[in-house]
Amino acid sequence: GQSLEQPSEVTAVEGAIVQINCTYQTSGFYGLSWYQQHDGGAPTFLSYNALDGLEETGRFSSFLSRSDSYGYLLLQELQMKDSASYFCAVRDGYGQNFVFGPGTRLSVLP
């Protein structure tokens, strides 16, 4: 089976940089995805890493190390609207279903 681990909570101040880590155990690994979910809302896709290295999209970057079964989401120039839960996810084996991590709740303070 698949399992993913994330810190449950992270707190940072506006303008700061925060890193949310994700470690995984999977079979048939394709890549690591990240989703953002605001309270009461649905998850929205942020980024995907299939290869080792850093992918940058505006203030958000995502990193993957396949050899370490580890990735992280980096949020720069934090804004209050970044307060949300962040989930990492992988595809389950060779199928079309997905497994999500438990989520990290990010609180951005003024």
Partner 1 sequence: SQTIHQWPATLVQPVGSPLSLECTVEGTSNPNLYWYRQAAGRGLQLLFYSVGIGQISSEVPQNLSASRPQDRQFILSSKKLLLSDSGFYLCAWSTWEGGETQYFGPGTRLLVL
Read off the DSSP letter of residue 82.
G
Q: What type of residue is 110? A: P
Q: Smaller CB distance to partner 1: residue 10 or 14?
A: 10
Q: For the CB of residue 101, give the shortest distance to partner 1 in the complex, in Å.
A: 7
Helix and strand tally (H, E) in the chain? Answer: 0, 11
Token pair 């925060």 is at which residue?
A: 18
Q: For the CB of residue 70, give the shortest distance to partner 1 in the complex, in Å.
A: 17
Q: Comparing C-alpha atoms, which of 57, 61, 87, 71 is closest to residue 24?
A: 71
Which residue ranges make up the site for partner 1 (CB under 8 A)?
A: 30-31, 33, 35, 41-45, 48, 50, 87, 89, 91, 95-103, 105
Q: Smaller CB distance to partner 1: residue 16 or 58?
A: 58
Query: Edge-to-edge strand order for the sheet containing 53-57?
Result: 3-5, 18-25, 70-75, 60-65, 53-57
Q: Smaller CB distance to partner 1: residue 41 or 53?
A: 41
Q: Smaller CB distance to partner 1: residue 65 or 102?
A: 102
Q: For the CB of residue 109, give the shortest distance to partner 1 in the complex, in Å.
A: 19
